[in-house]
Structure 1
Amino acid sequence: MSYLKSFAAALLASAAIATSAAACEVTLKSSDTHPDGYPTVEAVKQMGKLLEERTGGRLCVEVFHSAQLGQEKDTIEQTKFGVIDLNRVSMGPFNNLVEETKVVSLPYIFKNTEHMHHVMDGPIGEDMLKAFEPHGYVGLAFYDGGSRSFYNKVKPIKSIDDLKGMKVRVMQSDIFVDMMTALGANATPMPYGEVYSAIQTGVIDGAENNWPSFESSGHYEVAGYYTLDEHLIVPEVLVMSKVSWDKLSAEDQAAVRQAAKDSVPVMRDLWQAREKASEEKVRAAGVEVITDIDKAPFMAAMDSVYEKHVTSENLKDLVKRIRATD
């Protein structure tokens, strides 16, 4: 979708909610590419409820899910100019804009989900949220994006040797491509919508993603092996347009920031339930889940990826601080 088309879609959507939002002094338009009912969508809805309650109905949030306002690349630009007020976005699209987001996109930077929560809920996370502001965004909160692991149709992956020569789909990201190269596999960048048929027909051997995506995409139907190596645990971010933010009073800004923070536990509870349900469905379908895996060799193989992508002193310091966090 082009920027102009996305801009037009946002204006039409604004007109559509004008009547329902009449009772509110300010209605913040929020974008999400995920479908209605998805944990991030429901979390922002909860944020809106809290805002409405705490401001006596002066501030409201209208969530446009399912990429109604455009794909993430388009909505990020619209958010910068204040056409969209709030935006739940993956970290990847911000990598070339906000340098700090590269660090949380690195393989094995987090030990596990609990470690990621400790990092993002603490001083490091606060510093990272502040890093968005010079670029026209106000970072409000971090949501979960799950743990990404490998799946394929050929054989169980229990070691790096099992990955050698395997054709694995990755997102169109230099970090992802370099990760697969370091593991001896053949990285195959490909749109997400093409993965099912590509595995089915043998164009690729497999891919990598979290439990909910592996299940909801139907990839488990064509890839019978899922290895819980959890090479990536990438949080997602909720940002607000600096243009929209500056229109609010200091009191309302504080209310927005607090409501966003208070939506995080809601999102995490929903995410955990979603992960559990997806895992149960995948296991019931007969997929072989490999949990007995030594992650140490996988992590050691990432040295070249870090050397290539962690180049500035700022990024090196962030990596050091994350690794030092319990």
Structure 2
Amino acid sequence: MKVPLLAFNDKGIYCQQADVYLDPWCPVTNAIITHGHADHARWGHQNYITHYDNVPIIKHRLGDINVTGKDWNESFKVNGVQFSLHPAGHVIGSAQIRVEYKGEVWVFTGDYKTEDDGVSVPYEVVKCNSFITECTFGLPAFKWAPQAEVMTDINNWWAENRAEGKTSVLFGYSLGKAQRLLKHLDPNIGKIYTHGAIENMTEVLRPLVDFPLTTRVTPATKKEDLLGSIVLAPPSAHGSTWIRKMTPFVTGSASGWMAFRGARRRRAVDRGFVLSDHCDWTGLLESIKATGAEKVICTHGYSDIFSKYLQEIGYDARTAHTQYEGELGEMDSKKDVEEERIEEQRE
């Protein structure tokens, strides 16, 4: 029986011919990493390969690791298997992994989105025979408005809060969402402050992207300094002692989950903005069609529903179990959480 080029086992997505894992969730010898979110880039592997832009990110999050950087479309071979990294458009440094052996081509997306966010290198269509896709928002109900419209809403919300003498606290994951928001906030409205975990990650990424000026919230920051400003904070800061300094404040959350009715109430925020770093339903379908793939493997998210639909429209589609968590997996790493705890203790 022919061994598939890529197979799912209890450690991750495995290429037996090369003895290499893609985004493994258990410690392995050789790992190729798509991006820096905690559910895809884990500590404990002996050797890491990732895109150059992701190297400083995973070093910041994982510490002293043995990591090799690769450029976009740079081919490298391991035991006859050809690998290359291609832009996924998800967050800065995020890649799809192309795997080719004896004329057979697979692509593993990791996490991806097709809209150009002005921060990440835009998504690239990669032709293949088999396509491993996420399905974080794989329901027809998910349809994203253009980013420009969402950012106009966010900037208007901030301006309204400023006019009322209130601080705007906007929640977004410390890697990816926070920098995307920062890039498109209007600094003419007021001053932009950041939580320590977001500021630390943004400092890592400033050599790669021209971001507006930010000011870290510290124990020395006075409440009156914050009035009328906007503060970018990770979701885990909500309800913490750290946020008390912001009073009077209004909260907002930028997430794809805000498309669900009741999500804002469940997250106890005043305003929800639908902004995701993943494909919506249409984006997923258009991406799959563009690859020309005959076989599609659906991983994290609404994989059962999405794969069933793909079968109905003629694809050879199935699901595969992984430990990836989609937008939930973009929650702060242990290092980020520790940074937040230290910030709170300083208060």
Q: TM-score range by the shorter chain?
A: 0.3 to 0.5
More helix by share: 1
More strand by share: 2
- RCO (CA 8 Å, sep 6+): is it higher in 1 or 2? 1
